[in-house]
Structure 1
Amino acid sequence: MTPTEKVHFWQQQINDWEVTDLSGNAFCKQQSLIYHQFVYWRQKLTSGKDYPKQAPAATGFTRVISSAPRIGVDAGDADGLTVSLPGGVSITGLHAGNIELLGAVLRQL
């Protein structure tokens, strides 16, 4: 299939999907399409249209952000690691001397 043919094929699939009440995944199953290809082409061909973004799947991991030490603060006086949990809960002041406490807290959640 030429690149132009691919564009036409996927544009037709997107157009067909838009008139259904099916989710993208259900449409792909019904049409024997590969879902990640459908998503790729939908994003590529419909940029600027407002389609609801699917929520990212929960992975069990969280983002850890390292911040630079504050100017004028001695490394020994730094706040240490801060862990932010869903719901706005933060655990701050973690360092090598109390890191085991984090494990104990998280096991209780």
Structure 2
Amino acid sequence: MEPVESVTPADIDWPAQIARWQASGLSAAEFCKQHQLSYHRFIYWKRKLSNSDVGRSSKVGGFVRVVSSGSGNTPSFPESGLTLVLPGGIQLKGLHEGNVALLGQILAQL
């Protein structure tokens, strides 16, 4: 009788397994059962890969121009510009139409 090679979690190509699951149309639990994968480890890798830089690169982002309709109900912004407060307490002050491109460059570095 020949020894059976066991597959360790480190041997599994998780990105490929996640891609196969997405194409399968199965629930994660059913996919794991059919492919003899640990459901908990599958979920761990699914979350890890969805939070990776690779996952983020496919997301679309950008700025949207906001134009005042001129109605009396629209609040006016201070002449000093807008302030953008980011998580962690970072504040970007003095934002206006003339420095939106610079703001995009700054946010791309964060």
Could you state the TM-score of these two structures normalised by the residue count of structure 1? 0.36
